[in-house]
């Protein structure tokens, strides 16, 4: 298996697969100084976490990709994959395993982009993870800290006629990540929709205010903002009917996640701080496209999209 996107999520899953007996080759943009890359994953809190290290082969340009775990940031996906398509490394026999925030929207946009570019359409598996992962030392790109246990699920979208069962067998071997696969599409879709609901509330609010998850719900004003976004989500049948959740149910779920991950910083906040494009179009933008299909107006979600984009532009202006 190959990994594209050697960030926190990608490295933790690559290391877990390697520990489980599945060799993972890292697809990198720049050549590291050594023939193998040592990926160090620290686990546990306090002054002495347990660290495990796995050795990975790397490549800048794989000749052929049978199974590719894609853990790039959502806005970077098409550009990161383009050289592999152009070189013929990805074919119809390849399987792309997408593991990103807003993965439903990423899959839809990527499939459309591939088709319009005339490249062969590979098979897709979609994934979702709730593990808490961060990078504490920006000077050491291959060391990450696994700070919170969760679960990872994988399944094929309904548009996939068939998937190589060997890929699911490989994914299931990821050690210590509580992996479930294959998950049938109806259940996977519910999991992805629930994550979309939580992320489309917490991620933009923490990014706008530059705070950790817990602070969003620590004040009455923050809880009111959470409620206003959840009220709009509940207008959509994708959340109200398919998930069977009311606005109150959604709010309680978001509050629970925010409190359980109170000290976490969301990826959108970190992305804005670095002056990079955010995944807002794959979260709230996706929600707004759902709403448009039903002729439903969601002014609060429209507002947070504008505020996130404005904050990014302001940060870029200040940096220059």
Region 166-170 average pLDDT = 96
Phi, psi values for residue 2, rounded to 5°: -110, 155
Interstrand relation of 132-134 and 152-155 (parallel, antiparallel or unpaired): unpaired
| Other C-beta atoms lying within 10 Å of the C-beta of residue 116 | 8
Report residue 46's pLDDT band, with 50, 70 and 90 as the boundaries: low
Per-residue model confidence (pLDDT) at position 179: 97
Q: What per-residue confidence (pLDDT) applies to 103? A: 97
**Which of 225 and 46 is assigned the larger pLDDT?**
225
pLDDT greater than 80 at residue 47? no
Instruction: Identify the weakest region by mean pLDDT among 51-60, 74-83, 179-188, 255-264.
Output: 255-264
More confident residue, 137 or 180: 180
Whole-number mean pLDDT of the chain? 94
pLDDT of residue 136: 82
pLDDT of residue 79 exceeding 80: yes
- 3-state DSSP helix/strand/coil percent for the chain, to nearest 5? 45, 15, 35
Q: Per-residue pLDDT averaged across 94-110, rounded?
A: 96
Per-residue pLDDT, averaged over 234-252, amounts to 96
pLDDT computed for residue 159 by the predictor: 84
Prediction pTM value: 0.95
pLDDT in tens, 148-158: 889 999 999 98
- Quote the percentage of the chain above a pLDDT of 70: 99
Determine the pLDDT at residue 11: 97
Q: What is the mean pLDDT of residues 16-44?
A: 94
Over range 62-67, report the average pLDDT: 96
pLDDT value at position 45?
64
Tell whether the model's pLDDT for residue 49 goes beyond 90: no
pLDDT band (50, 70, 90) for residue 7: very high
Rounded to an integer, the average pLDDT of 209-233 is: 96
Per-residue pLDDT, 320: 65
Torsion of CA 73, 76, 78, 82, to 10 degrees: -120
- Token readout for 16 is 């877990």
CB atoms closer than 10 angstroms to residue 153: 21
Residue 319: pLDDT above 80? no
Task: Please tell me the total number of residues recorded for the chain in this structure.
Answer: 320
- Identify the CA nearest to 1 among candidates 87, 104, 94, 103: 94
- The answer to whether 250 and 230 have CB atoms below 8 angstroms apart is yes
Considering only CA atoms, which of 138, 147, 117 is closest in space to residue 44? 147
């Amino acid at each position: 298996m190959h990994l594209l996107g050697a960030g926190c999520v990608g490295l933790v899953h690559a290391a877990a697969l390697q520990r489980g007996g599945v060799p993972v080759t890292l697809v990198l943009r720049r050549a590291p100084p050594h023939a193998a890359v040592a990926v160090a994953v620290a686990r546990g809190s306090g002054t002495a976490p347990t660290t495990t290290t796995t050795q990975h082969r790397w490549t800048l340009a794989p000749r052929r990709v049978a199974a590719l775990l894609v853990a790039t940031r959502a806005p970077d996906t098409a550009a990161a994959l383009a050289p592999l398509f152009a070189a013929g490394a990805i074919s119809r026999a390849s399987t792309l395993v997408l593991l990103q925030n807003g993965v439903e929207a990423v899959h839809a946009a990527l499939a459309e982009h591939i088709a319009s570019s005339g490249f062969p359409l590979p098979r897709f598996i979609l994934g979702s993870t709730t593990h808490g992962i961060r990078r504490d030392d920006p000077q050491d790109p291959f060391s990450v800290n696994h700070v919170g246990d969760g679960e990872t699920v994988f399944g094929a979208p309904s548009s996939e006629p068939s998937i190589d069962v060997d890929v699911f067998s490989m994914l299931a071997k990821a050690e210590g990540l509580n992996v479930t696969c294959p998950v049938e599409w109806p259940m996977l879709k519910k999991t992805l929709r629930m994550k979309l609901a939580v992320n489309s509330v917490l991620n933009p609010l923490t990014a706008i205010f530059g705070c950790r998850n817990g602070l969003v719900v620590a004040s009455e004003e923050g809880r009111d903002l959470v409620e206003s976004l959840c009220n709009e989500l509940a207008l959509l049948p994708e959340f109200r009917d398919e998930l069977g959740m009311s606005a109150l149910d959604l709010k309680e779920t978001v509050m629970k996640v925010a409190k359980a991950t109170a000290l976490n910083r969301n990826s959108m906040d970190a992305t804005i701080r670095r002056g990079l494009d955010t995944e807002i179009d794959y979260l709230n933008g996706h929600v707004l496209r759902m709403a448009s299909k039903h002729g439903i107006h969601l002014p609060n979600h429209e507002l947070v999209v504008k505020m996130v984009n404005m904050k990014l532009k302001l940060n870029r202006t200040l940096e220059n």
